[in-house]
Chains A and B, each alone.
Chain A
Amino acid sequence: EAGVAQSPRYKIIEKRQSVAFWCNPISGHATLYWYQQILGQGPKLLIQFQNNGVVDDSQLPKDRFSAERLKGVDSTLKIQPAKLEDSAVYLCASSSGGTGLQGYTFGSGTRLTVV
């Protein structure tokens, strides 16, 4: 089966600009996650979707970050305006439900550099 697709792979922007990332999960996976991985740290959950509804966005900086999952399939994560501290790898993951049984599948990530 195809994996989790993310684009772009790399992005360099200036601070205060906006940027968007795209994720296409594995077909049929109801749950989609966005994680932020800052260099030297473990991934941190930003937002979790179940179909097209938000389950957990408690760690999403809502003044600048937004995410949507239209029709319960693809998802986009947007940052506007970007800050230097947003430089990180943004990982998308999907699961068919139940981390224990099915586990997660991660995409290769988008590496964002804010200058």
Chain B
Amino acid sequence: AQSVTQLDSQVPVFEEAPVELRCNYSSSVSVYLFWYVQYPNQGLQLLLKYLSGSTLVKGINGFEAEFNKSQTSFHLRKPSVHISDTAEYFCAVSDPQGAQKLVFGQGTRLTINP
């Protein structure tokens, strides 16, 4: 069975500072990896995804993530955050060969302080 662990439940940072949201996964098979963002009272929006190929994936809103197979990690980064990045961020994993359902982590609440 696949599982995802997001190591920080809350991350406070100052505006224009860099940020890293950590995600580790567990799987006995190859995986697809995703980061989603959820703004208050809204659904989930895809930030970026890793399918194969280059381990550095660039997404929307200036976010990027790096797939590290040896460490089973898929950390999300942004070099300079804005107030508008305040939201809940979810890491998710999917089995390319299976039913292709998404298994989510617990989420990380990113709070940007002015």
Chain B residues lying within 8 Å of A109, measured Cβ to Cβ, are 42-43
CA distance A111 to B43 in the complex (A): 11
Annotate B74-111 by CB proximity to A: 1 below 8 A, 0 otherwise: 00000000000000001010101001111111110000
Is A41 touching B107 in the complex (CB atoms < 8 A)? yes
Q: How large is the interface on A (under 10, 10 to 19, 20 to 34, 35 or more residues)?
A: 20 to 34
Distance in Å from the Cβ of A88 to the closest Cβ of chain B? 13
Main secondary structure of the interface of B (DSSP, over half): strand
Is A45 touching B43 in the complex (CB atoms < 8 A)? no
CA distance A111 to B102 in the complex (A): 21
CA distance A109 to B100 in the complex (A): 21
Is B104 touching A56 in the complex (CB atoms < 8 A)? no
Annotate A1-21 by CB proximity to B: 1 below 8 A, 0 otherwise: 000100000000000000000
Q: Is B44 an interface residue when CB atoms closer than 8 A count as contact? A: yes
Known: A55-B99, A100-B94, A103-B49. Contact between A44 and B104, CB under 8 A?
yes
Distance in Å from the Cβ of A53 to the closest Cβ of chain B? 12
Q: Is B46 an interface residue when CB atoms closer than 8 A count as contact? A: yes
Known: A42-B107, A100-B51. Contact between A107 and B43, CB under 8 A?
yes
Q: Is A48 an interface residue when CB atoms closer than 8 A count as contact? A: yes
Q: Is B63 an interface residue when CB atoms closer than 8 A count as contact? A: no
CA distance A104 to B49 in the complex (A): 11
Residues of B within 8 A of A (CB): 4, 6, 32, 34, 36, 41-46, 49, 51, 90, 92, 94, 96, 99-107
Task: Write 22 A-B pairs (CB below 8 A) sorted by A numbering.
Answer: A40-B106, A40-B107, A42-B4, A42-B90, A42-B92, A43-B90, A43-B104, A48-B101, A91-B43, A91-B44, A95-B100, A99-B100, A99-B102, A100-B100, A103-B46, A103-B49, A104-B44, A106-B36, A106-B45, A107-B43, A108-B42, A109-B43
